[in-house]
Amino acid sequence: MNSRHVSRSFAPRLAAALLPALTLTLLTAGAAGAALNPQRVIYQKDSLYHRIFVFQDGDIVTLRFGRRDGPLTQSQISLSEPSRHLLEYSQLMFCGLLHCPAPRRALILGLGGGMIPREMRRYFPEAEIDVAEIDPEVAEVARRFFDFKTDARLNVHVSDGRMFIRRQLRRQPAPKYDIVLLDAFNSDYIPFHLMTKEFLEEVRGVLADDGVVVANVFYTNALFDAELATFLAVFGRTQAYYGATSVNAMLVAPGPRGQVLKPDEAAAIARALQEKHRFSFDLEAVARRLRPDVRPAPGTKILTDDRAPVNWLKEQKSNLPAP
Amino acid sequence: MLHAPCTRLRRAAIVAIACICGWFVMELEMLGGRILTPYFGSAVYVVMGSVIGVFLLSLSGGYVLGGWLSRKPYSEISLGGGLAIAGAWLALTPWLIAPVCDGLLNLGLDDKWGSLIAALALFALPTVILGTVSPTVVRWLTAEASESGRNAGIVLGLSTVASFAGCIVTAFYLVLLSARLTLRVSGLILFLVGCAIIVVGLRHRRLRSWEGGAEAGKGRTP
């Protein structure tokens, strides 16, 4: 501190007087910091749907909805290395490529910080990418703080995801997507109408025959079991990629002419794709997270527009064993 | 009921009708948002705005209609019949949801107009009928003009507390159950309440005409 500006004789006495107080202050500050969050809020906005928080901690910018110290990080970027995947889930979402290695058309529900469409664009410069994001403020935040850019073939549609898909279905002919990524999270749960049988049937309507649907879910609660059962009811075949360090899991369902994979097949495809695209993460490590034959417990109820107690299921434990 | 002396029990039953209907108004309103979301999206203010708007408009129509009907001698029959119709409508609503909502979307309507018209088509009729309850039962409770304000206060106060309960219980718990099943059970209850009112009303009417006949007979006795 500025002790050199204090006279010599006075300094020890001052230090003796200040030391306990200083220690106490540092201790409490440390405790509070650990409890709250040491990160600096650089942007905060109440949108129609969320309380949006953007933090910066040195090189790392973080997007969070709901509570400042909430448990759910939506998106994270390293400003010096934007392609570095700081969160496991954004790597896992690329598992769809194992089932559909050369997507020409992708649909992403839920923008967040825009990492998935940005990286998708990086590896597939020709692909046509549609993003449906309900909250215009989130789109603005992604552009401003997370290095997200739209282009002629990468569009953000400010719309409810289900409304967007229904609009696409009404177009003649309805567009068919090779990859559909379901990643529309609220501050604490997935909106119920984006998890039901009827919704997934609409998704199936915009899915190419050899395409793949990937849904980001948490495997620890009973909503995972219900969503898995719903996927199986609609798509027939469903596999899962479990996170290693996070509780995220990807439910993956191929279209009627698409592929389900055995673990060694997935790893071989991953190696070939890694060779070709030089991903900033290890796709083979993602492939190794495949659980090919995951099934819900018998009697698990599927989610429908009529009955979808998502908030209740979220609080119940999953019946499936953790990987 | 209209001209029958208001015993304690009868007063309680009449207020209970208002409370049951108050509960159903808000239960239906919360379910309405839940039902329309899969079709018109979760742009919260759009769908809930449409539903709340339609309910307010329907209730206002129901209040006027109920006030008018309360002056008629057959008000038990009109209210009971109305509630039976509203109950039947609720029980049948599960079959109307998809055709109405899909039809509107296929016409090219957006989430705003689509959800507004869908809410009108699905929920206006039962809500108008539920709106007729308060003015009618205030009339039933009131024998003297000086009582009217107090009776109106009791009916509006208690039925609104019941609306609060219906709103919270639906939003917190009933939405976890099947929306269709909730509608069917609620419709059945409302239908039975309506039928009970008709039966009681007809009995009173017969009693009154019998008493009236006896009085007239007495008058003629030399």
Segments making up each domain of chain B, as ranges: 8-220
Of A183, A225, A264, A306, which one is the catalytic site residue? A183
Q: With b meaning 16 or more CB within 10 Å and e meaning fewer, what string describes A183-212?
A: bbbbbebbbbbbbbbbbbebbbebbbeebb
Q: What is the pLDDT of residue A108?
A: 97
Q: Is B38–A163 a contact, with Cβ atoms under 8 angstroms apart?
A: no
- Closest Cβ opposite residue B180 in set A49, A162, A306: A306
User: Residue B148 CB: number of other CB atoms within 10 A?
Assistant: 14
The model's confidence at residue A31, banded by pLDDT at 50, 70 and 90, is: very low
Q: What is the pLDDT of residues B90-107, one digit of tens each?
A: 999 999 999 999 999 989
Question: In terms of pLDDT, which residue wins out, A73 or B126?
Answer: B126
The model's confidence at residue A71, banded by pLDDT at 50, 70 and 90, is: low
The model's confidence at residue B212, banded by pLDDT at 50, 70 and 90, is: low
Q: In chain B, which residues have their Cβ closer than 8 Å to the Cβ of A163?
A: 40-41, 43, 111
Find the range with the poorest average confidence among A28-42, A120-134, B34-48: A28-42
Q: Which candidate in A164, A166, A167, A201 is best for mutational testing of the B interface (most B CBs within 10 A)?
A: A166
Q: Is B178–A309 a contact, with Cβ atoms under 8 angstroms apart?
A: no
Crossing angle, helix B8-40 and helix B44-69, to 10 degrees? 150
pLDDT at A286 over 70: yes
Q: Catalytic residue at A305?
A: no
Find the range with the poorest average confidence among A61-70, A283-292, B81-90, B179-188: A61-70
Question: In terms of pLDDT, which residue wins out, B46 or A250?
Answer: A250
Peptide bond before residue A117 is cis, with ω within 30 degrees of 0:
no
Q: What is the pLDDT of residue A37?
A: 52
Q: What is the pLDDT of residues B150-184, one digit of tens each?
A: 999 999 999 999 999 999 999 999 989 999 999 99
Q: How far is A160 from chain B (nearest CA, A)?
A: 6
Residue A125, both tokens: 């410069």
Q: What is the pLDDT of residue A74?
A: 85
Q: How far is A110 from chain B (nearest CA, A)?
A: 13
Q: What is the pLDDT of residue B4?
A: 53
Q: What is the pLDDT of residues A236-274, one digit of tens each?
A: 999 999 999 999 999 999 999 998 999 999 999 999 999
Residue B187, both tokens: 């419709």
Q: Is A48–B40 a contact, with Cβ atoms under 8 angstroms apart?
A: no
Question: In terms of pLDDT, which residue wins out, B69 or A67?
Answer: B69
End-to-end C-alpha distance for chain A, whole angstroms = 52
Q: What is the pLDDT of residue A21?
A: 55
Q: How far is A163 from chain B (nearest CA, A)?
A: 6
Q: In chain A, which residues have their Cβ closer than 8 Å to the Cβ of B180?
A: 306
pLDDT at B132 over 90: yes
Is the CB of residue A179 less than 8 Å from the CB of residue A300?
Answer: no
Q: Is B41–A307 a contact, with Cβ atoms under 8 angstroms apart?
A: no
Q: What is the pLDDT of residue A224?
A: 95
Percentage, residues of chain A above pLDDT 70: 86
Name the residue of chain A whose CA is nearest to B47's CA: A160
Q: Is B40–A198 a contact, with Cβ atoms under 8 angstroms apart?
A: no
Q: How far is A59 from chain B (nearest CA, A)?
A: 34
Count A/B contacts: CB-CB distance under 8 Å.
48
Residues of A with CB under 8 A from a CB of B: 48-49, 134, 159-160, 162-163, 166, 170, 191-193, 196, 198-199, 305-307, 309, 311-312
The model's confidence at residue B210, banded by pLDDT at 50, 70 and 90, is: low
pLDDT at B11 over 50: yes
Q: What is the pLDDT of residues A178-209, one digit of tens each?
A: 999 999 876 566 789 999 999 999 999 999 99
- The amino acid at residue B5 is P
Q: What is the pLDDT of residue B220?
A: 44
Taking the C-alpha atoms of A65, A71, A72 and A73 in order, what is their torsion angle to the nearest 10 degrees? 90
Phi, psi (degrees; rounded to nearest 5) at A42? -105, -15
Q: In chain A, which residues have their Cβ closer than 8 Å to the Cβ of B41?
A: 134, 159-160, 162-163, 193
Crossing angle, helix B8-40 and helix B75-106, to 10 degrees? 10
Crossing angle, helix B44-69 and helix B111-131, to 10 degrees? 30
pLDDT at B89 over 80: yes
CA A18 distance to own-chain centroid: 48
Architecture of A88-315 per CATH? 3-Layer(aba) Sandwich (3.40)
Peptide bond before residue A125 is cis, with ω within 30 degrees of 0:
no
Mean pLDDT of chain A: 87
Q: What is the pLDDT of residue A187?
A: 57
Residues of B with CB under 8 A from a CB of A: 37-45, 94, 105-106, 111, 175-181
Nearest to A216 by CA among A198, A195, A193: A195
Q: In chain A, which residues have their Cβ closer than 8 Å to the Cβ of B176?
A: 309, 311-312
The model's confidence at residue B18, banded by pLDDT at 50, 70 and 90, is: very high
Q: What CATH number labels B8-220? A: 1.20.1250
Residue B182, both tokens: 């909730």
Nearest to A247 by CA among A322, A168, A151: A322
Q: What is the pLDDT of residue B7?
A: 85
Q: What is the pLDDT of residue B168?
A: 97
Q: What is the pLDDT of residue A2?
A: 35
Q: In chain A, which residues have their Cβ closer than 8 Å to the Cβ of B183?
A: none
Which ipTM score applies to this complex?
Answer: 0.83
Is the CB of residue A289 less than 8 Å from the CB of residue A241?
Answer: yes
Q: In chain A, which residues have their Cβ closer than 8 Å to the Cβ of B94?
A: 306
Segments making up each domain of chain A, as ranges: 40-78, 88-315
Q: In chain B, which residues have their Cβ closer than 8 Å to the Cβ of A309?
A: 175-177
- Closest Cβ opposite residue A160 in set B43, B94, B178: B43
Q: In which residue are the tokens 């329309």 written?
A: B36
Is the CB of residue B171 less than 8 Å from the CB of residue B106?
Answer: no
Give the residue-averaged pLDDT of B26-54.
Answer: 91
Q: What is the pLDDT of residue B57?
A: 98
Give the residue-averaged pLDDT of A100-104.
Answer: 96
The model's confidence at residue A8, banded by pLDDT at 50, 70 and 90, is: very low
Supply the pTM of this predicted model. Answer: 0.85
- The amino acid at residue A164 is F
pLDDT at A30 over 90: no
